[in-house]
Amino acid sequence: MFPSPVRVVRFVRVARWEAAALAVLGLLGALVAGAPAAAPSPRAAHVRAVTAVPAAPGSATPLSGYAIRSTAEVSDAAEVVSAPGYRTTGWYPAGPRSTVLAALVAEGKHPDPFYSTNQQRIPAADFTVPWWFRAGFTVEDTSSRTYLDFSGVVSAADVFVNGKQVATASAVAGAYTRHEIDVTGLVRAGANAVAFRIEPNNPRKNLTMGWLDWLQPPPDENMGIVRDVLVRRGGPVALRDAHVVTGLALPSLATADLTVKAQVRNDSAEAVTATLSGTIDPAGPTGPTGPGGTGVAFRRDVPLRAHETKTVAFAPADTPELHLDSPRVWWPAGMGAQELYALDLTVTVPRAGAESGAVSDRSRHGFGIRSVQAPLNKDGARQYSVNGRPLLVRGAGWSPDQLLRWDRTYAEDRLAYARDLGLNTLRLEGHLEQDEFFDLADRYGILTLPGWQCCTKWEGEVNGTEAGESWTAADHPVAKASMAAEAARLRDHPSVVSFLIGSDFAPDAEIEKGYLDALKAADWPTPVIPAASAKSAPLSGSSGMRMPGPYDWVPPGYWYDKREGGATGFNSETSAGPDVPTLDTLRRMMSPAELTALWKDPAAPQYHRSPSRTYATLKLYDDALTARYGAPRSLEDYVAKAQLAQYENVRAQFEAYGRNATDASKPSTGVIYWMFNSGWTSLHWQLVDRFLDQGGAYFGAKKANEPLHIQYSYDDRTVAVVNRRRAAVSGLTARVSLFNTDGTQKYDRTVTGLGVGGDGAKATALTLPASVEGLSTTHLARLVLTDAAGREVSRNVYWLSTRRDVLDYDESDWWHTPTTAYADLTGLRSMAQASVSATATTAAGADEQATSTTTVTVRNTGTGNTPALLTDLHLVDGKDVPVLPVQWSDNQISLWPGESATLTATYRTADLHGSAPRIRVSGWNTPTATVPAAARR
């Protein structure tokens, strides 16, 4: 049902309720680097999805794929379908982690749902009945025990092995619950079969995953199996739940105490004395040493009765080697190195006639040593610190692929982009990613804030009077089991710094207690946050977070006020809404007719925005774009203005939160840009688009988050220097110049001897005058910061107006604050064309797997005064197609006549596909030209 009127309050994303109410083997590598769906391939007449499972104790082998088909097309009984040898003629292949729709799209059954309105052509009725997921596996040795171990079933499943039902859909329910089924008695030598009968998904009815107002939800609602199904082998004694509890000495970081825990389970009918032994070693080449100088080793005998389970713990009190001197501490990106350790555990049982025992089971996984704290400050806001150092959370909301297809390269590319942008955090609201994602986040130093999703069944029962989807008695154990499984999976990742047990709302007392009990039992090591909004939970108290929006367009100056979504406290999700991608991307995702409507008709519904009525059009955004920059004259002009608008707005958002982070009163403590990416071909909520192209939003964020940064404040006209480095800096010089749009200088001031502390400190260099004689209504501000040696260390260019944007805060709602008067930036239209030259050379990698670097020198060769505003460089191949992903040292730069800049672009050599690299140069007032990037000699 829809929420009651009580629920429709400002901080609630009502649109998400609207969206919910509207009714891999897959891509064969096509999603690498964000490529479009692969061309259809012929469907095999007989699908063979067979996995060879070794007998080695401790092995965990993922099923390699499935044959899938709708139960509406399969008349055979489950016992027959799940029997070895059953023929799957006419079934579709699916990858080891696949939704139904992902598999069907890969096979060409449906058109690419990421282009135009193709997704509307896919009949949703096909997914209202269960689907079979069937796989085969072979076992040569049946003397080992065999288990099925899995999670990620969306939404529930009956499970069968070799013709026998081993679990019901009432037991295998919820996308995040984890299940281990002992199938030793059913497994035979040779061919075996497992079949899942997957129930349709409804995120309003099931504790699974949904999309709400992020994008147009897929017609199958992601039904399928989206994580690995493992076939585990082992001896009579199983090893489970291995983890490390770390205690780091603060503030010295001089020592760390480790406690290793694991469950040892005797699955046999005989008593046995098992031996549990382990080692801890740094994942890198060097690290802390135990007595032998090569790490830490420990062991213990564990007597077990038949079918008994014991939790075994090794701590410094009984294992002194677990007290580490000079530990290798893990730091977030930009604060230090990402040091990791490896824990190896082995359990052995006595072997007749042998001195050493037989290996029964083993495990290996990584962990990091770090401390996370997040108390409430005096203003009631969460203030995170890592290893005793305060941290301004600069983050964005992460989205997986809309069809939940996993591609490690594509995920790593996006994480590399996050680090390139100077972000330190990604928030995962629901859609808690694969294990590899968190491994990569550990490596890249990107903090993560996972949590449950808003406005679906997860928030059916809340701590308040708001009406949601009521829970049944069966939902509570599913929720607690989900929490237990995710806590066990995520707890040892140093990148995971909290769990948000609520999003828009905090859970009620019963649900919260279930979550907290599960987290405590799992030795959860980091703060538990009751909600992402300004809500409290009965046991956890205040969230210390806030969610006032906005989610749609507001002017850049909005972010500086300490009210609504402005820069104070911890804003868990916010942005100025639309992020129109580059022209290259738009032409890949929309039809010609849709592109015409995009720039000509602000009132046109935009399918690639959102299913929400609130975000159905771009009218609010387009009205502001026209009022501030002038009416668009073509698609190209519309996109160019969008890049200017998105650059200035995203930059202002991050700059405002950075400036206010060290304020004595109501400081900013965190901001999550909504969102980092959309997971679909989208027109809103993204710093980077589906194809990994970079526009104004991307480079505005990159500029704002540079480590040592000079910036302008829209509210009080101050120019400040923000230093995110650890060490203080002195001897800086700031020069600020104001220009008319024809390049005529009207103001110039230099301030020397500036110093600024470290860890996010700021220093004010000067305040621009309220008025400057002769300054045009639209004008430019150039800010340049140089170090004691005269080297330029930060450069920032703004396009400003003597007329300010005026906000009507009294009429604010949960998604934006109205603007009643707009800044006049239309003077940019009269800027003369700038003459820009570019030369480029490339240092190519040695082979197709290597990385190449193209170095570009761009110069404004004009003889007058006109600057080249927001000059954009795109690395393209011989067909003028962008080479993506790419990391630029800087981009979208502004140069005055005689000025030049040398930039670098780093990318995978293979992504050129044999073509020679070229550089496409364009800009606001720069004609588009393409130059070769010859190989460097």
Among the options 126, 158, 228, 573, which is catalytic? 573
Q: 52 with 141: CB under 8 angstroms? A: no
CA distance 495 to 479: 24
Q: Give the list of residues 6+ apart from residue 209 with CB closer than 8 angstroms, or none.
A: 154, 175, 201, 203, 222, 404, 430, 431, 453
Q: How are the residues of the chain apportioned to helix, strand and coil, as percentages rounded to the nearest 5?
A: 20, 35, 50
Sequence letter at residue 421: L
CA distance 501 to 479: 10
Alpha helix positions (H), 354-474: 408-420, 435-444
Examine the residue annotation and report whether 573 is marked as an active-site residue of this protein: yes
| Residues linked to residue 52 through DSSP beta bridges, in sequence order | 138
| Residues linked to residue 182 through DSSP beta bridges, in sequence order | 147
CA distance 174 to 845: 46
First to last CA, the chain: 68
Examine the residue annotation and report whether 584 is marked as an active-site residue of this protein: no
The angle subtended at Cα 910 by Cα 908 and Cα 912, nearest 5°, is: 90
CA distance 393 to 383: 9
> How many residues does this entry show for the chain?
937
| Residue 720 vs residues 764, 812, 888: alpha-carbon distances, Å | 4, 29, 25
DSSP notation for 689-741: -TT----HHHHHHHHHT-SEEEEE-TTT-EEEEEE-SSS-EEEEEEEEEEEET
With residue 194 as reference, give the H or E element that holds it.
Answer: strand 190-198
Structure-block tokens of residue 91: 């079934």
Q: 465 with 499: CB under 8 angstroms? A: no
Residue 399: CA atoms inside 13 Å, Cβ hemisphere, count? 27
CA distance 100 to 87: 20
Among the options 504, 648, 805, 824, which is catalytic? 504
Q: Give me the phi and psi of 582, to 5 degrees please.
A: -70, 165
Q: Give me the phi and psi of 625, to 5 degrees please.
A: -65, -45
CA distance 641 to 637: 6
Catalytic residues: 504, 573
